[in-house]
Structure 1
Amino acid sequence: MLLELKRIHVPPGQRVLLCDVTWQELEIILDELGEHRATRIAYDKGTLEIMAPLPEHEYDKEIIGDLIKALLEELDIEFMSLGSTTFKNEVIAQAIEPDLCFYIKNDFQFERNQRLDLTVDQTPNLALEVDISGRTHLHIYEALKVPEIWRFYQGQLQINILLDGVYVESQQSLNFPRFPLIEAIPEYLRQSFTADTNKIIKAFRLWVQQQIQQL
């Protein structure tokens, strides 16, 4: 398995599917792939997907992440960002690596070199998937009980809230109620294509401040 894995090359925007992968093999593969890599994985009861994102995917992810952090800072909300950390639960044989994830307003403590196990560790409050190729595995996030996931697809932001174990599309974020983020996040991302990123983030911060005054 490891020899075969080393020979696999995943071009940007493409994916590789491995079938009948046991949990023990998944753990070995994750060790072999390492932490500092461009690829993302999704594991669903024996089927392992390895995907390499496109450059535009990474750009959108970074800008949206910067906007989320700016929003949290302007609201003076404590948070912790763990990027594309691997979240897994051996009991239900599911694992996923979001593009970004955030622990918001909670007492979760993360230690260096810690590997998160959702059979015992808390799930992130918010996960982000920038979906260029239509790969978002919402059913895995449902199984892992992530309360909110943002899916950015074809220039639009979709907010999904976990309700009775199933995701329901919402016009408002569970973490940022009363903020019209479905319109604002894509708009500021579009502006970043033709303007300086720092100026866009500053403009977004000003917009957040204006929204706070209206609450």
Structure 2
Amino acid sequence: MLLKLQQIIVKPGQQMLLKDISWQQLENILEEMGERRAARISYSHGWLEIMVPLPEHEKDKELIGDLVKILLEILQIDFEPFGSTTLKNERMRQAVEPDTSFYIQNQAAVIGKNRIDLTIDPPPDLAIEIDITSRTRFKNYEILGVPELWRHTQQGLEIFLLKEGKYIKSESSPNFPDIPIVELVNKYVQQCLTIGRSQAMRNFRDWVKNNL
């Protein structure tokens, strides 16, 4: 008897690994899971991992995504936010879902698109992963060619830049040159925990307007 996907329960903070999954099976699973779901997937050469984030993971994702949007909007930089859209390339047999992602330099290429196919579309300029319980899948992002990856852990923000196919840790972001991104994100995420999200975001807006 074949199991159906809805019979499988993955609890928040846990993951499930499936092997020998064909590309068509992956497409079927994504279709069955639907767009509005808590689970995230990563896929590489037949191995499929399904992860369900913890609630605090989702909170951090929203906070950092909002900080990026505020920066881009105040600096009047055009962008297209793509959230945790599935980034996939059938030729490379790779798929991954960041916690959130942004097209900045390449925003014009994806205007009006709801789904991304990396066999024809460029990868997002910035992908963000919140790493509370799961290990960021660097390899997926490297193979798919995402130029900048942020990882936020309980220790704070880390920036990784793609150089010759491998991620190198960096103190600065090419998408936000001359801005102390690591320091800013860590400061205002911490503020959200102490004075609340609304006040922290107002403080961040004021800082950007007064300093940039």
Report deviation, 1:171.
0.5
Q: Which residue of 1 aligns with 2:12?
A: 12
Name the aligned partner's letter for residue 63 of structure 1: L
In structure 2, C-alpha distance between the alignment counterparts of 1:157 and 1:129, rounded to whole Å: 10
1:1-55 CA distances to partner (integer Å, 9 max, x unpaired)? 9733221101000001101101110001000101110000000111000000000
Report deviation, 1:115.
3.1
* Aligned: 1:84 with 2:84: yes
* Aligned: 1:122 with 2:119: no
Would you say the 8 A contact 2:13–2:51 is kept in 1? yes
Q: Which residue of 2 aligns with 1:186?
A: 186
In structure 2, C-alpha distance between the alignment counterparts of 1:139 and 1:98, rounded to whole Å: 13
Would you say the 8 A contact 1:78–1:104 is kept in 2? yes
Q: CA RMSD in A?
A: 1.5
In structure 1, C-alpha distance between the alignment counterparts of 2:112 and 2:208, rounded to whole Å: 32
Would you say the 8 A contact 1:43–1:95 is kept in 2? yes
Q: Which residue of 1 aligns with 2:27?
A: 27
Please identify runs of 4+ aligned residues in structure 1 that moved more than 3 A: 1-4
Q: Which residue of 1 aligns with 2:94?
A: 94
So what's the TM-score if we normalise by structure 2?
0.95
Report deviation, 1:109.
2.8
Q: Which residue of 2 aligns with 1:199?
A: 199
Structure 1 vs Structure 2: percent identity of aligned residues? Answer: 51
SS in structure 2 opposite 1:192?
helix
In structure 1, C-alpha distance between the alignment counterparts of 2:68 and 2:43, rounded to whole Å: 27
Report deviation, 1:197.
1.6
In structure 2, C-alpha distance between the alignment counterparts of 1:155 and 1:210, rounded to whole Å: 28
In structure 1, C-alpha distance between the alignment counterparts of 2:117 and 2:130, rounded to whole Å: 24
Q: Which residue of 1 aligns with 2:61?
A: 61
SS in structure 1 opposite 2:193?
coil
Cα separation, partners in 2 of 1:38 and 1:197, compared to 1, 3 Å: same
So what's the TM-score if we normalise by structure 1?
0.94
In structure 2, C-alpha distance between the alignment counterparts of 1:109 and 1:156, rounded to whole Å: 30
Q: Which residue of 2 aligns with 1:164?
A: 164
Report deviation, 1:146.
0.4
* Aligned: 1:140 with 2:137: no
Q: Which residue of 2 aligns with 1:70?
A: 70
Cα separation, partners in 2 of 1:110 and 1:8, compared to 1, 3 Å: farther
Q: Which residue of 2 aligns with 1:109?
A: 110
Name the aligned partner's letter for residue 82 of structure 1: F
Structure 1, gaps ≥5 residues long: none
Report deviation, 1:130.
0.3
In structure 1, C-alpha distance between the alignment counterparts of 2:22 and 2:201, rounded to whole Å: 44
Give aligned pairs, total.
Answer: 211
Would you say the 8 A contact 2:82–2:101 is kept in 1? yes
Cα separation, partners in 2 of 1:31 and 1:2, compared to 1, 3 Å: farther
Q: Which residue of 1 aligns with 2:149?
A: 149
In structure 2, C-alpha distance between the alignment counterparts of 1:122 and 1:92, rounded to whole Å: 14
